[in-house]
Amino acid sequence: MDREESKVSDLREHLQEIYDRRGRLTPDDVVEVAKDENHPLHNRFEWNDSTAADAYRRTQAQELIRSVRVTYVDRAGAEQKTRAFVAVRQPLPADETEDDEPEINGGYRYIPAEVVAKDELLARQALAEMEREWKTLRAKFDRFASYCKVVSDPVFELVDAA
């Protein structure tokens, strides 16, 4: 087992321990336990409140942007809704970033859906990303469905906890 696999295995054990002690596992449970400076999960969190607050506000802004929908009528005459802003990987030009400012959000920028839909290149890029996400979700579904079948088998034995 390499170091990365060991770290994942350790993480699983720590999370399982929280679940076993509390009978549940929520983000609040993990944060509360990790507040203890001696807990192995403590260093996986940002404890500088200023830095953490900024990161949380960015997360809130992302949720806000993703929450807005536009309504349109499809070709069959049915009302549909879609996000009003589409995340497209598009780094800012050099003159719009500061040298000491790291690239935030992986280079994704939100662009109005109408602008993306009318721009062939942006539309293809957005649809390709959505297709990758769909395939990832489908694979996740298939793996967990397979896992459920195996775990319900009386001869099931967990081989790797990572």
**With bands split at pLDDT 50, 70 and 90, how would you rate the model's confidence at 102?**
very low
10 Å CB burial of residue 50 (0-12, 13-18, 19+) is exposed
CA atoms of 128 and 16, how far apart (whole Å): 36
CA end-to-end span of the chain, whole Å?
Answer: 10
Q: What six digits make up the tokens of 45? A: 């969190």
Q: Looking at residue 100, what is its pLDDT?
A: 46
CA atoms of 28 and 33, how far apart (whole Å): 9
What is the pLDDT averaged over residues 69-89?
96
**Minimal CA–CA distance to 41: which of 27, 55, 53, 51?**
27
Query: Does 162 score more than 60 pLDDT?
Result: no
Locus of tokens 């009318």: 118
* Residues 115-152: tens digit of each pLDDT: 999 999 999 999 999 999 999 999 999 999 999 988 88
33-41 CB contacts, 8 Å cutoff, 24+ apart: 39/14, 40/10, 40/14, 41/11, 41/14
Query: Does 1 score more than 60 pLDDT?
Result: no
CA atoms of 4 and 17, how far apart (whole Å): 20
**With bands split at pLDDT 50, 70 and 90, how would you rate the model's confidence at 153?**
confident
Which pTM does this prediction carry?
Answer: 0.70
